[in-house]
Structure 1
């Protein structure tokens, strides 16, 4: 996954790590719970869905975001353990 557009017209390309970092910064409690959850569990799936739905600010003006479910935990955990470095403007 190279990145995805976050707007229409002249989109901004956001890498999965930048997207995940934003999600972690916006929702540190949920990211912590995800980090502690059992991989593949229903609880994990619910947390990932909630994190993405509540992370609308992280996708800009995109009307649709497609995320590969098998990679979401990997990207969020990477951002979580990296300290969630801030987005660059």
Structure 2
């Protein structure tokens, strides 16, 4: 991938630098949760990243825990299929 030279002052950090997230945003879609930085890094709202090399950096902000929904209890004799349906 060919990148254009950074014209910002001070110059934005390279995509491989530890402070790569400090680069200026050149495109963003907040409603979709991403921004493209000057150094070619695509950063997501959960702070995961896609580097220009194709390397994926996992999210650094955990997603909120959503408890699993409880399913209704079935009696031992009940079928998992509605009475109007045949078993597959």
Q: TM-score, normalised by structure 2?
A: 0.26
Q: TM-score, normalised by structure 1?
A: 0.25
Q: Which has the higher contact order (CA 8 A, sep 6+)?
A: 1
Q: Between Structure 1 and Structure 2, which shows a larger proportion of helix residues?
A: 1
Q: Between Structure 1 and Structure 2, which shows a larger proportion of strand residues?
A: 2
